[in-house]
Structure 1
Amino acid sequence: MAALYPYFLIVHLICAIIFLGFIFTDVVLFSAVRKKLGDEMADKMFGAISSRGIKIMPLCLLLLVITGGGMLSIYVNSSVGYFETSQQQFLMFKVLLALLIVAMVITSLSCKFLGKRNPIGKIIHPVALILGFGIVLCAKLAFYW
């Protein structure tokens, strides 16, 4: 697994930038567009962008989980432990935050495919943005704390 680590890291970082960038754009930038240009124009713009995002984001999230798990297995495993060091504790908290995002995405996609109303539709992007920043913070603190 150590030989694949650099490749996993590159794919992981690219996917994280795309994923958080998309969510940041929706939460921060489109709220400003909505205020300046109105709901109709903002909905059209977001509709055009999100039609592509719905195709890309699940794959991006899947790659984030796979590559993150691969990299995590070097630092957290049965031979080195799971919660023994502060690094492992930060990384496991990062996993918890990531699993919350995955659960929200699975819920949203399930509602979409089943044709049901999404109960977390209004809050998923702001919550995912906060959790995403928490994940980035945990990743940095794990290696520098």
Structure 2
Amino acid sequence: MEILYPYFLTLHLLCAIIFLGYIFTDVVLLTPLRKILGDEIADKVFGAISKRGVKIMPLCVALLVITGGAMISRYIGSVQGYVQTPLQILLVIKMCLALCIVVMVTISLSCKFLKLKNPLAKVIHPIALFLGLLIVLLAKAAFYI
């Protein structure tokens, strides 16, 4: 597993950049445009972007989970312990926050594919952006504490 760690890390970082970049674009850049462009044009822009995002984001999230799980096994497990060190505690918190995002994405994609009304539609991106940025900060802090 040690030999694969750098590859998992690189893939994990690339997927995180794509995922958070997409969400950041939606929350910070596109949502304010609705007030400027109006609902009709904004709906066309959002539709075009989300059509592409729905194809890319599930793969990004899946790769984030797989690579994150592979990497965390280096620091947390039956041999290393689970919450014995500050690093492990921060990584477990990070893992729980990531699990929240995965659950929200799963609910949203299920609603989309089952053609149901998504109860998270208005809040998922701001929450995911906040949790994602918190995860990034925790990941960075974990190796300095």
1:113 Cα deviation from its structure 2 partner: 1.7
Quote the Cα distance in structure 2 between the aligned partners of 1:54 and 1:110. Answer: 11
Higher helix share: 1
In structure 1, the partner of 2:127 is 127
Identical-pair percentage: 65
Quote the Cα distance in structure 1 between the aligned partners of 2:131 and 2:47. Answer: 24
Which string of whole-angstrom CA distances, capped at 9 and with x for unpartnered residues, describes residues 72-101 of structure 1? 000001111000000000000000000000
In structure 2, the partner of 1:37 is 37
How many equivalent residue pairs?
145
Quote the Cα distance in structure 1 between the aligned partners of 2:37 and 2:112. Answer: 28
In structure 1, the partner of 2:50 is 50
Quote the Cα distance in structure 1 between the aligned partners of 2:6 and 2:69. Answer: 13
Which string of whole-angstrom CA distances, capped at 9 and with x for unpartnered residues, describes residues 113-133 of structure 1? 222111111100000000000
1:59 is paired with a residue whose SS is helix
Instruction: Give the CA RMSD over aligned residues.
Output: 0.8
In structure 2, the partner of 1:91 is 91
Counterpart amino acid of residue 127 in structure 2 = V
TM-score by length of 2: 0.97
In structure 2, the partner of 1:138 is 138
Quote the Cα distance in structure 1 between the aligned partners of 2:69 and 2:42. Answer: 36
